[in-house]
Chain A
């Protein structure tokens, strides 16, 4: 993975001291509250319902074991012994003290990490495919391009006070595992008819109050122009995006108001002025970035191992886990392993300091010391030799990280909701518990197949409810929590937004409603037809009727 140069290190060190000084001046009342707010947000510090919340950047989801140990140390030392992985593949701490944050940032800088631009109206952490570099279906490794974007966007002097936050995702595979179509910019590595690799660029995706999927603004951009094209988009947005209303300020609103063609015209005009500037990526720089993401020293004869097959045949629990929680690796004899952070015993995405320490050790032992975070709030050990799978699985079982539910109904995306977030209208954690308690029969879940359930505690949609196959959104109705349910959304390469069943359901009925929806699917599905396809085929009406029958 990427290793900081002296310059990279100097920048995060400088930023720590700059923020330390800002914090001191704020505490000395030399910076007014309103001015400190954007400064702390640009360093990931929110003031939440109970306490400050610090969001630490995990650029494109990549972590070393050393970094993971540091995250564990921070959880123990400055928080209550746990952290929470987010849909931007970042980690949040819910209980730090504002005064401690400069010291936390210094700890992070010591392992090449930071909290720069994890909040605020600026360019946020760039995300990518959690299987980057190891999946057989990718065109090339997207991570060097993510690192190029990370550097270009970090402390960019022009784009720190945008109309609103700005998110970029990069993928390099026909299978979209990064929800790229719901990003302000989606960057897809593609091949043209001449066999050359370049970028398809989408713009204007986003969820929240007015969800939109991204639209194509460039079908095939030459690689060396990536940063100049992004800069042109950002400059047009910075100048023309609405600033009068927070909910009208995302780039999706601008793109849809003036239309993708008019928007593209403005971007192209700006781009012509800067495409041949020093924003052009020289080959040497591209190669330098790529050199950090070379394949590991894989065992050439890993696939000759015979123990895996025997273990799969004799241990059904292992076999189930293997089928659900591991994925194909491009190197024969290796598998990608998902660590489920949806174990039922903790909120989705939560992880304790002991688990972090143990994962770091397992990564060192089995997976070249690297860990990845996914946008659906799980972790990945990407390079596991097949002979090690059984031992790894046993270790993960002990750590409560081997729940074989990846891709199933209980592998939910859940925002922290009302219990922590000051924006939320309704709680989410108790609803997730209710769903976990009802749907604890794994055989039933496997029979249902792939179902993505996404839940947010308000219309800001941090839990991606618009793109869940089943989406749940909490609303506050005169002090009581109700939950709207949507069906048919998807964040995949066939991304679409779900359709609401119409109204909110009371909190204590959510598991019943889900059961009615799932029964409707089971009754109507064709052989082998996944949930999302059945919803597409028969529409939401039968689901809605059966769901509404519960509350009547």
Chain B
């Protein structure tokens, strides 16, 4: 899973935890829904905790205080899903300054739009990754929005 942060291939310092029953040590990325259900349990975790948003989530609780997270991930289950673009814009508008990471079905041809909505990290599946993907950010050099 190549991870691009600010257009550079980077090491992933976060461990994604799908079923957060037993938490591993270190920094973890957990589903927002689970985090909201058991916020106190997660606050006892020794490492840092980040959340991953899925399209059906209500992100209102995140918007109140987004900077309590160093990383917020937004999951794209397929190529047609578009709610994550608005989530990203809303989080940045709410003042979020941390890493905003696109996860799931992240491919070259949406990187430019994702970046312009506020994403700065992209978790690209191996089977979609090409080393020249980074060029996609500059394919369109001018913008109206």
Contact with B along A371-382 (1 / 0, CB 8 A): 000000000000
Contact in complex: A156, B145 (CB < 8 Å): yes
Contact in complex: B116, A157 (CB < 8 Å): yes
Expressed in whole angstroms, the Cα–Cα distance for A239 and B58 within the complex equals 10
Q: Give the chain B neighbours of A21 by CB distance below 8 A.
A: 139
Contact with A along B31-65 (1 / 0, CB 8 A): 00000000000000000000000010000000000
Known A11-B140, A157-B85: A34·B109 in contact at CB below 8 Å: no
Q: Give the chain B neighbours of A34 by CB distance below 8 A.
A: 79
Contact in complex: A155, B143 (CB < 8 Å): yes
Closest to B88 in A: A158
**B97 in contact (CB, < 8 A):** no
Contact in complex: A38, B80 (CB < 8 Å): yes
Contact in complex: A160, B80 (CB < 8 Å): no
**A420 in contact (CB, < 8 A):** no
**B107 in contact (CB, < 8 A):** yes
Expressed in whole angstroms, the Cα–Cα distance for A151 and B142 within the complex equals 12
Give min CB distance, B121 to chain A, whole Å.
16
Known A22-B109, A273-B93: A155·B83 in contact at CB below 8 Å: no
Contact in complex: A38, B139 (CB < 8 Å): no
Known A31-B109, A35-B107: A161·B81 in contact at CB below 8 Å: yes
Expressed in whole angstroms, the Cα–Cα distance for A162 and B109 within the complex equals 16
- Contact for B80 among A10, A18, A152, A161, CB less than 8 A: A161
Give min CB distance, B88 to chain A, whole Å.
8
**A70 in contact (CB, < 8 A):** no
Closest to B139 in A: A18
Expressed in whole angstroms, the Cα–Cα distance for A245 and B103 within the complex equals 24
Contact in complex: A121, B109 (CB < 8 Å): no
**B6 in contact (CB, < 8 A):** no
Q: Give the chain B neighbours of A7 by CB distance below 8 A.
A: 142
Expressed in whole angstroms, the Cα–Cα distance for A288 and B79 within the complex equals 38
Contact with B along A265-280 (1 / 0, CB 8 A): 0000000010000000
- A158, A163, A235, A243: residue with the most chain B Cβ atoms closer than 10 Å: A158
Contact in complex: A161, B82 (CB < 8 Å): yes
- Contact for B142 among A10, A30, A31, CB less than 8 A: A10
Contact in complex: A14, B82 (CB < 8 Å): no
Give min CB distance, B86 to chain A, whole Å.
5
B interface residue count range (under 10 / 10 to 19 / 20 to 34 / 35 or more): 20 to 34
- Contact for B86 among A30, A31, A152, A238, CB less than 8 A: A238
Known A7-B142, A11-B140: A38·B79 in contact at CB below 8 Å: yes
A1-58, CB < 8 A from B: 7, 10-11, 14-15, 17-18, 21-22, 30-31, 34-35, 38-39
Q: Give the chain B neighbours of A162 by CB distance below 8 A.
A: 82
Give min CB distance, A439 to chain B, whole Å.
44
- Contact for B144 among A14, A31, A39, A152, CB less than 8 A: A152
Contact in complex: B140, A238 (CB < 8 Å): no
Closest to B56 in A: A243
**B89 in contact (CB, < 8 A):** yes
Q: Give the chain B neighbours of A460 by CB distance below 8 A.
A: none
**B134 in contact (CB, < 8 A):** no
**B141 in contact (CB, < 8 A):** yes
Contact in complex: A155, B93 (CB < 8 Å): no
Closest to A30 in B: B130
Give min CB distance, B20 to chain A, whole Å.
26
Contact in complex: A35, B109 (CB < 8 Å): yes
Contact in complex: A152, B145 (CB < 8 Å): yes
Expressed in whole angstroms, the Cα–Cα distance for A453 and B1 within the complex equals 56
Give min CB distance, B96 to chain A, whole Å.
15
Contact in complex: B109, A15 (CB < 8 Å): no
Known A30-B130, A160-B113: A154·B86 in contact at CB below 8 Å: no
Expressed in whole angstroms, the Cα–Cα distance for A152 and B145 within the complex equals 6
- A10, A30, A35, A152: residue with the most chain B Cβ atoms closer than 10 Å: A35
Contact with A along B97-133 (1 / 0, CB 8 A): 0000000000101101110110000000000001000
Expressed in whole angstroms, the Cα–Cα distance for A162 and B81 within the complex equals 8
- Contact for B83 among A30, A31, A154, A239, CB less than 8 A: A239
Q: Give the chain A neighbours of B86 by CB distance below 8 A.
A: 158, 235, 238-239
Closest to A6 in B: B142
Expressed in whole angstroms, the Cα–Cα distance for A464 and B53 within the complex equals 40
Q: Give the chain A neighbours of B81 by CB distance below 8 A.
A: 161, 243
Contact in complex: B144, A154 (CB < 8 Å): yes
Expressed in whole angstroms, the Cα–Cα distance for A17 and B142 within the complex equals 14
Closest to B83 in A: A239
Q: Give the chain A neighbours of B145 by CB distance below 8 A.
A: 152, 155-158
Known A31-B109, A35-B109: A238·B85 in contact at CB below 8 Å: yes
Q: Give the chain B neighbours of A159 by CB distance below 8 A.
A: 82, 85
Question: Which residues of chain B have a CB within 8 Å of any CB of chain A?
Answer: 55, 79-83, 85-86, 89, 93, 107, 109-110, 112-114, 116-117, 130, 139-145
The 8 closest A-B pairs by CB, nearest first: A161-B82, A157-B116, A157-B113, A18-B139, A151-B144, A158-B85, A14-B140, A10-B142
29 residue pairs of the A-B complex, CB under 8 angstroms, read A10-B141, A11-B140, A11-B144, A14-B140, A14-B141, A18-B139, A35-B79, A38-B80, A39-B109, A151-B144, A154-B144, A155-B140, A155-B145, A156-B144, A156-B145, A157-B112, A157-B113, A157-B114, A157-B145, A158-B82, A158-B89, A160-B113, A161-B85, A162-B82, A238-B83, A238-B85, A243-B55, A243-B81, A243-B83
Other 16 A-B pairs with CB < 8 A, given A157-B117, A161-B85: A11-B140, A14-B141, A14-B142, A30-B130, A34-B79, A35-B107, A39-B109, A157-B85, A157-B113, A158-B82, A158-B113, A158-B145, A160-B82, A160-B85, A161-B80, A162-B82
